[in-house]
A and B are shown apart, each in its own frame.
Chain A
Amino acid sequence: MSIFQNAKTSANPAADKSETIIGPSVKVEGDFKGESNVIVAGCVHGTLITTQNLTITETAKIHADIGGQNIKISGEVHGNILAKERLEITQSAQVTGDIEANILSIEAGAKIEGRCATTIPSENESGASPLTHPSAKKEKELKVGKVA
């Protein structure tokens, strides 16, 4: 055994991270409120809110309002979406509902139906230059169809 090894060897892979995984063969009904990273590959009905990151994979089908710090969507979402930081919608995503995020990224090919708003924090909150964080709230309407 190496002499440089830490005295407490944590071989438990679960000891360092906490994560909720909703697999493709699982259905969740009700109000999910978590404080860990969440990965969704299955079905969700109700609400899905976490204080950490939320990843929705291609196989996911969600009929729920969702919220999280950073959200990445590659699957199907029917419901309103609120990302406190970054919302990334990939090419395979299908979203029906209103979207609100601080930073929004939509890949070409994504299907979105609903209102879309980017909420920028005020200058005294972030301390950043007005160039990178305009004080105004941008809001734009997206019509049904593919985003080019």
Chain B
Amino acid sequence: MYLYFYDSLTNQKKHLAELHRVEARLLDLGINGRIERLSVLKNAKEMVTDGIKQGADTIIAVGNDATFRRLIPIVAAYEVTLGFIPIEESRIAKILGIPMGEHACDTLSRRFVQKVDLGKVKNSYFFASLEFPDRGVKIECDGQYRVIPTHPQSTVSICNLGSIFESKALAASMVSNPCDGRLEAVMREPATSGWRSHFGSSRSEMRSVFSAKKFRVEGIEKDSKVVVDHDQVMKTPLTVEVLPQRLALIVGKYRMI
């Protein structure tokens, strides 16, 4: 059984026509199902878990990237398949090879399922990356060695897929393979600094990459902020580990993973 999770943005008038087309197409394809609409009075977790308890085995996020991100920690705890119907510009949809709006219904009906890894941090899950906006963290990889960035402007992230929600080109932001059973700690040193940046120095961005199954992250001097999938905020110290093949996703023919 399909459960369609409509984000609150689907209540906007500009999306109504597209949603009508989506619903008609789902009916034509015979994959229509129960619809749950998020509102200020409803809790996303309760809506989805109730649906799963009542027999839903495929959860479809209808909305944008934030909708998809919101569902990942919820569905990761269950043996269900996650699909996506983007009704706004979406980076995740491009990665999964899912077209916009009603065309996504055809991708769903073909039901090509790919299992991907998820990252786990403190009882929460992430699909793309953890970002450490504060400087000064040290990372222990698989309990074997410690990595310490020495450049004061270094930015640190732990990626299952990459920092895909940043403004840079999508292919360049995907630094990790989400199907390899490993996470990557990525440290970037800014491409130019000081007076060089004013003269358009062509030095490329310096990057360090460490692959491991488990990371322990600590702030060097004080607790640092951690942003989980561009959404949730946590504090160090924390342990990050990979859950291989944890999430079943419906993907399209032209997926990037």
- Which residues of A pack against B, CB within 8 Å? 7-15, 18-34, 36, 41-43, 46
Q: For B162, what are the chain A residues with a Cβ–Cβ distance below 8 Å?
A: 14
A12 pairs with B177, CB closer than 8 A: yes
A40's nearest neighbour on chain B, judged by CB, is B208
A9-B149 Cα distance, complex, nearest whole Å: 35
Q: For A19, what are the chain B residues with a Cβ–Cβ distance below 8 Å?
A: 209
Q: For B257, what are the chain A residues with a Cβ–Cβ distance below 8 Å?
A: 10, 12, 15
Known interface pairs A12-B171, A12-B257, A18-B180; A25-B187 also in contact (CB < 8 Å):
yes
CB distance from B252 to the nearest CB of A (A): 10
Give the one of A12, A20, A24, A28 with max B CB within 10 A: A12
B176 pairs with A14, CB closer than 8 A: yes
B175 pairs with A14, CB closer than 8 A: yes
B151 pairs with A25, CB closer than 8 A: yes
Q: What are 20 A-to-B residue pairs whose CB atoms are below 8 Å?
A: A9-B255, A12-B174, A12-B177, A12-B256, A13-B172, A14-B162, A14-B175, A18-B211, A23-B207, A25-B149, A25-B206, A26-B149, A26-B150, A26-B187, A28-B145, A29-B145, A29-B146, A31-B145, A32-B145, A43-B150
A19-B189 Cα distance, complex, nearest whole Å: 18
B95's nearest neighbour on chain A, judged by CB, is A12
Q: For B174, what are the chain A residues with a Cβ–Cβ distance below 8 Å?
A: 11-14
A5's nearest neighbour on chain B, judged by CB, is B254
B210 beta carbon closer than 8 Å to chain A: yes
- Which residues of B pack against A, CB within 8 Å? 144-151, 154, 162, 171-172, 174-177, 179-180, 184, 187, 189, 206-211, 253-257
A43's nearest neighbour on chain B, judged by CB, is B150
B149 pairs with A15, CB closer than 8 A: no
Q: For A10, what are the chain B residues with a Cβ–Cβ distance below 8 Å?
A: 256-257
A13 pairs with B171, CB closer than 8 A: yes
Known interface pairs A18-B211, A21-B207; A11-B256 also in contact (CB < 8 Å):
yes
A58-B184 Cα distance, complex, nearest whole Å: 25
CB distance from A22 to the nearest CB of B (A): 6
Additional A-B contacts beyond A12-B174, A23-B206 (13; CB < 8 A):
A14-B174, A14-B177, A14-B184, A19-B209, A20-B210, A21-B209, A23-B208, A25-B187, A28-B148, A29-B148, A32-B145, A41-B206, A46-B145
Q: For B211, what are the chain A residues with a Cβ–Cβ distance below 8 Å?
A: 18, 20, 34, 36
CB distance from A58 to the nearest CB of B (A): 14
A21-B208 Cα distance, complex, nearest whole Å: 5
A8 pairs with B255, CB closer than 8 A: yes
Q: For B150, what are the chain A residues with a Cβ–Cβ distance below 8 Å?
A: 25-27, 42-43
A19-B177 Cα distance, complex, nearest whole Å: 11
Known interface pairs A22-B208, A42-B208; A30-B145 also in contact (CB < 8 Å):
yes
Q: For B176, what are the chain A residues with a Cβ–Cβ distance below 8 Å?
A: 14
Partner of B154, one of A22, A25, A28, A36: A25
Known interface pairs A11-B171, A23-B187; A33-B144 also in contact (CB < 8 Å):
yes
Q: For B154, what are the chain A residues with a Cβ–Cβ distance below 8 Å?
A: 25-26
Q: For B145, what are the chain A residues with a Cβ–Cβ distance below 8 Å?
A: 28-32, 46
A41-B206 Cα distance, complex, nearest whole Å: 10
A54-B172 Cα distance, complex, nearest whole Å: 24
A86-B13 Cα distance, complex, nearest whole Å: 66
A39-B174 Cα distance, complex, nearest whole Å: 20
Q: For B179, what are the chain A residues with a Cβ–Cβ distance below 8 Å?
A: 15
